[in-house]
Amino acid sequence: MKNTNERPCVINVNGLSKVYGWGAVAFEALKDVDFCAAAGEFVMISGPSGSGKTTLLSILGCVLRPTTGNVTIFGRNVSNARENELPSLRLSLIGFVFQGFNLIASLSASENIALILELRGWEPKNAQGEAAKMLAEVGIAEKVDSLPRDLSGGQRQRVAIARALAGHPPLLLADEPTANLDGQTGLQVTELLKDLARIHGSTVVVVTHDPRIHNLADRIVNLEDGQIKKESL
């Protein structure tokens, strides 16, 4: 476990392993991984396809159970949390940015953002106001009422970032956020993600194999064959 700055570790992963399947077809996606992310840190997890990046992100996002090891997020050991506690943990602690944007097609940009706030208990009127504010923060204030189909890829990812940051969750997880964007847009969107996360005080873990955005990371963790091979600043 390595923490390179003076800020406290808010994500602690110890001895993490994940095995898919069993018997002769068992596949070990993660092997005894130790990992730490400090409060407010912008960490990128890099590595070739099949290295275990997405598996690690899924476990951090509480959507996948580890086979062995402990995962502590903001003091909570989520690896042994009960199944019915996980949705609440995800909702309250984690914002997600997906490779394919994953916006709800029938909801407008602001409704996509307001939805997660309402699930957290915000009054609809306040949630709509906050959603409009978040859209302004990501630079597409005029797209409040637009449906996802009417937005470009970059605009959709901006809405997804606004949704992930809405309500200021302490942890942001992004899965290949530039994969469906051209180089320039990808860079802009990642810069935006980093800036807004810093403003909102969120810790960010980004899974990517896009080298063009590596220079934006506070730290890069390289995964290969389910193991951390190298960490670089």
Task: Please state whether beta strands 68-73 and 171-175 pair in parallel, antiparallel, or not at all (unpaired).
Answer: unpaired
Contacting another protein within 99-128 (CB under 8 A)? 99-100, 102, 104-107, 111, 115-116, 118-124
Strands in 47-110 per DSSP E: 68-73, 76-77, 94-97
Instruction: Name the pairing type of β-strands 219-224 and 227-232.
Output: antiparallel
Number of residues near another protein (by CB under 8 A): 46
Give the span between the Cα atoms of 200 and 23, in whole angstroms.
Answer: 46
At a CB cut-off of 8 Å and minimum separation 6, what does 140 contact? 109, 151, 155, 158, 159
* 58 near another protein (CB under 8 A): yes
**Residue among 84, 125, 211, 233 that touches another protein (CB under 8 A):** 84
| Contact call for residues 193 and 204 (beta carbons, < 8 A) | yes
CB of 105 to another protein, least distance (A): 6
Nearer to another protein, 77 or 184 (CB): 77
In this structure, the chain runs to a length of 233
Question: To the nearest whole angstrom, how small is the minimum distance from the Cβ of residue 109 to another protein?
Answer: 13
Q: Which one of 90, 143, 156, 158 is in contact with another protein (CB under 8 A)?
A: 90
Residues that bind another protein (CB under 8 A): 6-10, 39, 54, 57-58, 61, 63-64, 74-76, 84, 87-93, 96, 98-100, 102, 104-107, 111, 115-116, 118-124, 167, 169-170, 175
